[in-house]
Amino acid sequence: MQLIRSDLHFDFIGKRKIAMVISAVMLLASLGTLAVKGLNFGIDFTGGTLVEVKFDKAPAISDVRDAISPKGYGNAVIQEFGAPEEILIRVQNRDDENSSTISTAILDGLSEAFTADAIEMRRVEFVGPQVGEELTQAGIMAVLVAMLAILIYVTFRFEFRFALGADAALLHDITIVLGLFALTGKEFTLPVIAALLTVIGYSLNDTIVVFDRIRENMAANRKRKTPDNEVSVVNGSINLTLSRTLMTSITTLLVVLALFFMGGEVIHDFAFALIAGILVGTYSSIYVASPVMLSLEGKFKGDEDEIKEMEARP
Amino acid sequence: MHSFPRWKTWLILTVLVVSLMGALPNLMTPPTWWPTSLSKPMNLGLDLKGGIHLVLEVDVDKAVSHGVEGDIDTARQALRKEKIRYSKLAAEGNILSIAIKNSDDLAAAEKILTEAFGGNYMLAPAADKLFTLTLKESMAEETRKLAVDQAIEVIRGRIDALGTTEPVIIKQGKQRILIQIPGFEDSARAKQLIGRTAQLQFKLVDEKGDLDKALSGQLPNGDIIMYGPEQSRNGQTYRQPYLLKKRTELSGSEIADARVSIDSRFNEYAVTLKFNSKGARKFDKLTTAHVGERFAIILEDTVTSAPVIRERIAGGSAQITGSFTPEEAHDLAIVLRAGALPAPVMVVEERSIGPSLGQDSIDQGVNSIIFGSILVLIFMGIYYRMFGLVANLALVFNMLLILAAMSIIGGTLTLPGMAGIVLTIGMAVDANVLIFERIREELRLGKTPLAAIDGGYDKALSTIVDANITTLIAAIVLFQFGSGPVKGFAITLSVGILASMFTAITVTRGIVALSTAKRGRIEKLSI
């Protein structure tokens, strides 16, 4: 069985203008949504309290609010979580409270109003303001360090312009996934950062496979009597790796879809980020990384020396 | 085709056996002769087991200022001994200030203070008969460190008294303590028990002082005002004020034991304290000298009661009453037995999981792993036929290897960790996809089947390594910066990537080599 007939030859690079427009639109839309609507940061980053409670039968949201109002949390965000019996209550930190007493008050209020047997504590999370700040910094650092480390590795293994192409694809992917989070209003939490880093790894994985082939074919091309131009070598390489790119995306998507549908509410947004990242990552490895790399041809000194050195390598 | 080296066959078999043995403890209790390094099941994270997860921050600067306050006594005694009169003895933060009354005494005072504090404080020259002693930073640092270590010990004592299994109490960073109590779900009680300082003090009531005058601002020297617990009377809440002597006669550190008891007068729950020998002597002296007066029992800056001393109490025991519920009395006894925290602590992070959510997460995680694997197995089998089946065998081996590796290295499986395993399934077959696509390509170029296999494996290798290393970089960064559950994801992802490099390259190669070795000429590959 074959997904892509081997005699098919798509002109990916020839269509790069169209792709650039599509990417630009997606990027602008993402940045616009991020700027206007912003991310719905979870308590990991804002600090606050989250209480997940399972009721024996589905309660009305208004009853839940009435139950916790006497405790002073009438303005909490209350929502269903996965099932009608499961309720998620979120409260921002107040300036004068920096210990995790809020959850106790909320649970007390609920058990007074619904009887203690009718409710079950599923999850209590509290993140103090300082910890929230630390986690935000660590998250930003993680993404930056990962990108830098990858830039260094790809520069070391390939050429600098390849590395820039790879990082351009990464930025592209992360921006669009973030844009999707802003658009859908899904909660942005620590696991989503983990998903973003995985998307970085995955997108890069795809890009590297294509780059590897480009490098191999460029080396072979230079040895020919009448070398093709770089564009057609790149295009040919993308075509050669196309069925692999799609196959891997499909197998990975299959499992991530399993996570999305069966992994439960807690992992839901995490899986969503991965699905979005895999789709965008697959697109960008074809339409962003290589075109950017191509457009940087000859921009960096010493490229020629590097190429010679590169060819000497196994 | 290159021959498959014999040592690699043995390597694969060895890894297979070790993996099987290492994975077994997750399914059943291994027999007694099982190697100990392979006898551990995987640790489950708190998000799967359920339980309390708290991060406390110790207010270490309070510990320092407490220490400095304690040194006031030392200074007082030293000065009194030499009959040097002082007009002020005060502590603020890490500074002790002492004002001497007569300038004639300055030289003697300096000598005494240097003797008493020279090691720990920096003595600033007397200006206007005032000495300021600043705690040396190294000493302050030592106090801070000690405060955290002591807090850990005290908290361990309190948690152990709950009778839960395998609590985790470790220092995190400089002034934080990570606490995990698996299987405990009463988060409110845990926080209450762990977070209270349990500072217990006994002070004498100033019977001669005028409370009303003191309340209006005319506080007698050496006295303080403290309040009783909140009470409601006629629909209004108020707290009973007490005029007390500042000096603490006895403190919680002089307690040897604390037990729940019943107060016979009101038939209420109470806590009976037993002092250690030093405390008993002090208590004996105190009660002898102050019969007819009241002494106040102060718990965490609240006066719980102020009974009258009717007669000398020689037995070395006292009772704390305060209309406790049985659980309150029980927990109070626990915290008094375990001792006071050297400094206040504050919960800065909590992630507690109820037992049912943990079990649901396990079920959902396992289901996703099984379902995801089945989808991939089917897809690979259809798409690459025989070679797909080989890749599938390698995938099952990979799962086994992850399970064994996680158990052997003592890694902790979390819910995101399970997601990492699911993701690994998808990415593990990537290596095989790369190889198989390359083999197909080589076949199209007209190579013989065996040459195509060689070419496929050889040419795909550097790509696989490059692609996996970049993912590994992301995973390592994640491990460095992530916390708790996210770290679990980084671990399974890293283990999975490393395992897949072995299974997808070496193991599939081995299987292919074995199955083609004895068949002579091969016309066609099932790929």
Give per-residue pLDDT as tens, A177-220: 999 999 999 989 888 888 888 888 888 888 888 998 998 898 89
Q: How far apart are CA B198 and CA B192, in angstroms?
A: 11
From chain A, the residues in CB contact with B473 under 8 A are 146, 149-150, 153, 201
- Say whether both B263 and B388 belong to one domain: no
pLDDT at res. B126: 66
**Domain boundary residue among B350, B369, B390?**
B350
Question: Which of A122, A153, A240 has the CB atom closest to B470's CB atom?
Answer: A153
Report the candidate in A267, A202, A239 with the shortest Cα–Cα distance to residue B426. Answer: A202
Fold that domain A48-127 belongs to in CATH: Alpha-Beta Plaits (3.30.70)
Write out the residue range of the structural domain in which residue B294 sits. 196-350
Indicate left, alpha or beta for B232 from its phi (over 0: left) and psi (-120 to 50: alpha): beta
Place of tokens 């500042």: B246
Average pLDDT, integer, range B420-439: 87
- Say whether both B236 and B310 belong to one domain: yes
Give the DSSP letter of residue B269. Answer: E
Find the helix or strand (DSSP H, E) in which B53 lies: strand B51-58
Contact of B367 with chain A, judged by CB distance below 8 Å, is answered with: yes
- Say whether both B25 and B120 belong to one domain: no
pLDDT at res. A282: 92
pLDDT at res. B211: 85
What is the full DSSP assignment across B301-315? TEEEE--B--S---S
**A258·B354 Cβ contact <8 A:** no
- Say whether both B367 and B484 belong to one domain: yes
Distance from CA of A21 to the nearest CA of B (A): 28
Residues ≥6 apart with Cβ < 8 Å to A183: A30, A33, A37
User: Chain A, 48-107: which have a CB under 8 Å from a chain B CB?
Assistant: 52, 54, 98-101, 103-104, 107
Q: How far apart are CA B305 and CA A58, in angstroms?
A: 46
Average pLDDT, integer, range B225-254: 85
Question: Which of B354, B416, B471 has the CB atom closest to A123's CB atom?
Answer: B354
For residue A302, pLDDT over 70 is answered with no
Distance from CA of A14 to the nearest CA of B (A): 24
What is the total count of domains within chain B? 3
Average pLDDT, integer, range B296-309: 86
pLDDT at res. B487: 82
Report the candidate in A4, A22, A11 with the shortest Cα–Cα distance to residue A288. Answer: A22
User: Which of A198, A239, A257 has the most B C-beta neighbours within 10 Å, making it the best mutation to test the interface with B?
Assistant: A198
What is the three-class DSSP state of A107? Answer: helix
Q: How far apart are CA A167 and CA A292, in angstroms?
A: 10
**A205·B467 Cβ contact <8 A:** yes
pLDDT at res. A311: 59
Contact of B56 with chain A, judged by CB distance below 8 Å, is answered with: no
pLDDT at res. A167: 85
Does residue B145 fall inside a structural domain? no
**B463·A250 Cβ contact <8 A:** no
Does residue B159 fall inside a structural domain? no
- Say whether both B358 and B342 belong to one domain: no
| Average confidence score pLDDT of chain A | 86
Quote the pTM value: 0.81
- Say whether both B338 and B375 belong to one domain: no
- Say whether both B487 and B367 belong to one domain: yes
Question: Which of B426, B469, B470 has the CB atom closest to A252's CB atom?
Answer: B426
pLDDT at res. B90: 84
Confidence tier at A313 by pLDDT (50, 70, 90): low
Distance from CA of B349 to the nearest CA of A (A): 5
User: Chain A, 288-307: which have a CB under 8 Å from a chain B CB?
Assistant: none
B311/B376: higher pLDDT: B376
Out of A299-313, B89-103, B263-277, B388-402, the most confident range is B388-402
For residue A284, pLDDT over 90 is answered with yes
Residue B261's CATH number: 3.30.1360.200
Question: Which of B462, B490, B493 has the CB atom closest to A212's CB atom?
Answer: B462
From chain B, the residues in CB contact with A212 under 8 A are 462-463, 466-467
From chain B, the residues in CB contact with A263 under 8 A are 364-365, 368, 418-419, 422
ipTM over 0.90: no
- Say whether both B378 and B487 belong to one domain: yes
For residue B367, pLDDT over 70 is answered with yes
Does residue B121 fall inside a structural domain? yes
Q: How far apart are CA B464 and CA B87, in angstroms?
A: 80
Contact of A190 with chain B, judged by CB distance below 8 Å, is answered with: yes
Length of chain A: 314
Give residue limits of the domains in chain A: 13-41+132-312, 48-127
- Say whether both B101 and B38 belong to one domain: no
**B376·A251 Cβ contact <8 A:** yes
Confidence tier at B218 by pLDDT (50, 70, 90): confident
Report the candidate in B408, B220, B252 with the shortest Cα–Cα distance to residue B332. Answer: B252
Where do runs of H (alpha helix) occur along B118-165? 137-160
Report the candidate in B287, B231, B476, B306 with the shortest Cα–Cα distance to residue A145. Answer: B476
From chain A, the residues in CB contact with B367 under 8 A are 262
Residue B370's CATH number: 1.20.1640.10
**B473·A248 Cβ contact <8 A:** no
For residue B404, pLDDT over 70 is answered with yes
Cα nearest neighbour of A141 on chain B: B481
Contact of A252 with chain B, judged by CB distance below 8 Å, is answered with: yes
**B422·A255 Cβ contact <8 A:** yes
Confidence tier at B410 by pLDDT (50, 70, 90): confident
Residues ≥6 apart with Cβ < 8 Å to B365: A263, A264, A267, B48, B415, B418, B419, B422
Q: Which two tokens stand for residue B226?
A: 């403290």
- Say whether both B394 and B502 belong to one domain: yes
For residue A278, pLDDT over 60 is answered with yes
pLDDT tens-place string over residues A82-95? 888 999 999 888 76
Query: By the 8 A CB rule, do B338 and B161 touch?
Result: yes
**B482·A149 Cβ contact <8 A:** no
Give the DSSP letter of residue B31. Answer: P
CB-based burial of residue B341 (10 Å sphere; 0-12 exposed, 13-18 middle, 19+ buried)? Answer: buried
Query: By the 8 A CB rule, do B179 and B361 touch?
Result: no
User: Chain B, 488-527: which have a CB under 8 Å from a chain A CB?
Assistant: 489-490, 493
Confidence tier at B208 by pLDDT (50, 70, 90): confident
**A264·B360 Cβ contact <8 A:** yes
Q: Which two tokens stand for residue B476?
A: 């390592």
pLDDT at res. A104: 86
Cα separation values, B453 from B25, B459, B500, Å:
38, 10, 19
Distance from CA of B132 to the nearest CA of A (A): 34
Confidence tier at B54 by pLDDT (50, 70, 90): very high
Could you give the dihedral angle defined by the CA atoms of residues B278, B281, B286 and B292, in that order, rounded to the nearest 10 degrees? 140
Q: How far apart are CA A172 and CA A289, in angstroms?
A: 10
Average pLDDT, integer, range B506-523: 81
**B352·A54 Cβ contact <8 A:** no
pLDDT at res. B169: 93
Does residue B448 fall inside a structural domain? yes
Confidence tier at B16 by pLDDT (50, 70, 90): very high
**A263·B365 Cβ contact <8 A:** yes
CA angle B470, B476, B478 (to 5 degrees): 110
Contact of A1 with chain B, judged by CB distance below 8 Å, is answered with: yes
**Domain boundary residue among B350, B366, B382?**
B350
Confidence tier at B151 by pLDDT (50, 70, 90): very high
Cα nearest neighbour of B379 on chain A: A251
Q: How far apart are CA A10 and CA A14, in angstroms?
A: 9
Q: Which amino acid is at A293?
A: M
Confidence tier at B110 by pLDDT (50, 70, 90): confident
pLDDT tens-place string over residues A36-81? 999 999 888 888 899 999 999 899 999 999 998 888 888 888 998 8
pLDDT tens-place string over residues A94-133? 766 656 788 888 888 898 888 888 888 899 999 988 888 8
Contact of A145 with chain B, judged by CB distance below 8 Å, is answered with: yes
pLDDT at res. B331: 87
Report the candidate in A85, A266, A279, A277 with the shortest Cα–Cα distance to residue B368. Answer: A266
- Say whether both B243 and B306 belong to one domain: yes
Q: Write down the architecture of domain A13-41+132-312 according to CATH.
A: Up-down Bundle (1.20)
**B480·A243 Cβ contact <8 A:** no
Distance from CA of B345 to the nearest CA of A (A): 9
Query: By the 8 A CB rule, do B261 and B330 touch?
Result: no
Does residue B165 fall inside a structural domain? no
- Say whether both B398 and B361 belong to one domain: yes
User: Which of B463, B491, B492, B500 has the most A C-beta neighbours within 10 Å, making it the best mutation to test the interface with A?
Assistant: B463
Could you give the dihedral angle defined by the CA atoms of residues A230, A234, A240 and A246, in that order, rounded to the nearest 10 degrees? -170
CA contacts within 13 A on the Cβ side of A202: 35
